[in-house]
Amino acid sequence: MKITSLLLALAFTHTAFADVPLERWRSYTGVTWSAPAPYADSAKSPIAGLHFDAQGGGFVSTPRVLAANTPATLSRLDTSVTDGPARLTAFPSAEANDPTTAPATHLRSVLGFHIDRRNGWLWALDQGFVAGEAEAPAGAQKVLVFELATGKLVKAMPLDSVANRRGSFLNDIAVDEKRRIAFISDSGLRSAPANQAALIVLDFASGNARRVLHRHAGVLPEPGAKVMSHGAEVWPGNPLMLGVNGIGLSPDGATLYWAVTTGTHLFSVPAALLRNAKTTEAQLAAAVRDLGDVGGNTDGLVVAADGRVYITNVTRNGIVGYDPRDGRFTLVGADDGVHWPDTPALLPNGDLVFTASSLNDHFAGRVAAGQERYELWKFTPAPRQ
């Protein structure tokens, strides 16, 4: 065993997979909107984001990064279907998902979104650009808040003042549902390798947005880091340079967590400092904590009701847990059948489900039509000791 591998093994507590097994919960051969057969360009419409409402209803995002003509970028998912194409229904409607109409009020490309069970809302983070566009049209970068029950647009909040229409890559969103404040990760992928990465704080009441920790070391790709999946570097010769990605808020609203994909560390900052517009950049920078090495490259994360943080680990093909009580990371489940674990989401009963859609292969153009597999993996977190 190499020294680095030995140190990595010693740094982790490994929960036996027999105690917390990963279940291939759903395995879809592409996606479809209303038709029985898979959508013809399904290979360019991979499922990325995933969340559940209070009744366990599923919602997914299919960002238009590979194809501008994907029928919808935000949809309901019929989880009663376990195989075949994933059956999707555009949310809130097909018309609201039309990227050719008013960019300030219609969904163009959604990756991250948040199901707000407290208020009965869905917060959709719109990246603004679709495949083939060098920059997002004016007003297209935004957050749209919809009523879950009716699909009615509650509020549109523009982000052009705090995001770059050419260089930003608005990635994920976490919401303080009580205070109605959103925290957004901008990984700056479109400005790589000099990523214009940052966090964005958005206040629902006023609609005001602030860009913070711009190009702070904790949101940038880690120098010299490589992204590894199934033992191989992702895109050798054209390495993936993805900054801050997954983002999540502790249940009490006190701590914001995030991780960087081209890197291996988890970070946090007191959310109260982010909420206070008078906090200086120097004060914020000084408050950022490096919580330690996750043991591989990451994508999304979610914070459970008990405060434990669950992070998808694309290097280890599974999920790593972080317990803030003792600062320990635990590899809670992994499976060689998991290909690029992406977004983790919690079912109402506390079970965790995450998407795995081989996103690295899709973005590299290595997935042929008919060969796409969009999978949902599930496990029940072990009781806290």
Asked if 264 contacts 225 with a C-beta cutoff of 8 angstroms, the reply is: yes
What integer pLDDT is reported at residue 3 of this predicted model? Answer: 33
User: How far is residue 362's CA from residue 240's CA, in Å, rounded to a whole number?
Assistant: 13
User: How far is residue 202's CA from residue 184's CA, in Å, rounded to a whole number?
Assistant: 8
The predicted model scores a pTM of 0.94
User: How many Å is the Cα radius of gyration of the chain?
Assistant: 19
HSE-up of 54 (CA within 13 Å, CB side)? 9
What integer pLDDT is reported at residue 384 of this predicted model? Answer: 82
What integer pLDDT is reported at residue 363 of this predicted model? Answer: 84
Place of tokens 């995933």: 50
Please give the full DSSP string across 204-257, using - where no structure is assigned. TTT--EEEESTT-TTTSPPTT---EETTEESSTTS-----EEEEEE-TTS-EEE
The one-character DSSP state at 282 is H
What type of residue sits at position 274? L
Q: CA 344, 30, 41, 228 torsion: positive or negative?
A: positive
User: How far is residue 8's CA from residue 321's CA, in Å, rounded to a whole number?
Assistant: 15
User: How far is residue 340's CA from residue 63's CA, in Å, rounded to a whole number?
Assistant: 16
Please give the full DSSP string across 89-153, using - where no structure is assigned. EESS-TGGG-TTS-TTTS---EEEEEEETTTTEEEEEE----TT-SSPPTT-SEEEEEETTT--E
Question: In what helix (H) or strand (E) does residue 270 lie, and over which residues does it extend?
Answer: strand 265-270
What integer pLDDT is reported at residue 20 of this predicted model? Answer: 61
Could you tell me which residues are beta bridge partners of residue 355? 376
Q: What is the largest CA-CA distance in the chain?
A: 57
The one-character DSSP state at 348 is T
> How many residues belong to the chain?
385
Q: Which residues of the chain have pLDDT under 50?
A: 1-19
Question: In what helix (H) or strand (E) does residue 361 lie, and over which residues does it extend?
Answer: helix 359-363
Architecture per CATH, 3-27+96-379: 6 Propeller (2.120)
